[in-house]
């Protein structure tokens, strides 16, 4: 018996749902911070619903074992299986740097200021120290897992530029500072951008950008595999009253 299901229709409906929610947030709320919070909630819900259970998707600060903290990040995709929380209180979450797969800033409109803002947020996470311990297994010990780059990007509804996906966007995304590079982004009304291995940007106009972004993110997370084995004792040293924090090299 032929099925009446349509995969194409399902994927289109997923994108339409996200785009409509973002548009409602834009139309319904006058205060910029309320509008921003509503947009962020739309993207958080999307990723929480569609990424696999091994990932946790939250708003958070990130900390390293040397006591350095990131800025507050709108959306953190973190490991849920192997990494502990450092602190949790009334929706204020602080997670270890080793647990982070990706970070995103979510706003209503992409412009030059937002790109610079998102780059600064990405830098505040990527410059943190990450530990990686040898991994014991039944036959012995694997060497420490090399650290994978932390993905970073932007999620928005619209763009200030026309065309939304064009040379102006690329010129603002291009930077030689690896800590500030943005890898992936979605402008839900227009399409997605993605940074390629050669450092160039691919701009993809899409009829279903939110869905395309979701699949691209999942594909990139699959390549990263699992986060490194965290050295929990490096964090536990802060429990000692005699512990002296390392000098900040900056």
Residues involved in catalysis: 74, 105, 107
Buried b or exposed e, range 53-88, using 16+ CB within 10 angstroms: eebbbbbbbbbbbbebebbebbbbbbbeeebeebee
- Residue 147 corresponds to which tokens in the numbers above? 């650290």
**75 strand-pairing partners:** 104
């Amino acid at each position: 018996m032929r099925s009446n299901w349509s995969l194409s229709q399902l994927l289109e409906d997923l994108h339409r749902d996200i785009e409509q929610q973002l548009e409602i947030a834009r139309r319904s709320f006058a205060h910029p911070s309320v509008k921003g919070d509503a947009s962020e909630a739309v993207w958080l819900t999307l990723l929480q619903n569609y990424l696999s259970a091994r990932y946790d998707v939250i708003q958070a600060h990130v900390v390293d074992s040397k006591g350095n903290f990131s800025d507050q990040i709108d959306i953190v995709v973190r490991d849920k299986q192997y990494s502990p929380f450092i602190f949790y209180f009334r929706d204020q979450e602080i997670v270890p740097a080793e647990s982070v797969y990706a970070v995103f800033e979510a706003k209503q409109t992409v412009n030059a200021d937002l790109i610079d803002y998102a780059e600064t947020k990405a830098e505040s996470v990527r410059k943190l120290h990450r530990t990686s311990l040898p991994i014991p297994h039944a036959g012995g010990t694997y060497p420490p897992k090399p650290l994978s780059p932390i993905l970073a990007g932007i999620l928005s509804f619209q763009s200030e530029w026309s065309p939304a996906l064009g040379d102006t966007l690329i010129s603002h995304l291009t930077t030689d500072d690896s800590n500030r590079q943005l890898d992936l982004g979605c402008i839900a009304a227009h399409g997605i951008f993605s940074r390629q291995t050669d450092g160039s940007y691919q701009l993809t106009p899409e009829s279903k950008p939110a869905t395309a972004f979701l699949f691209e993110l999942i594909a990139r997370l699959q390549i990263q595999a699992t986060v490194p084995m965290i050295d929990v004792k490096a964090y536990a040293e802060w429990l000692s009253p005699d512990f002296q924090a390392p000098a900040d090299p900056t």
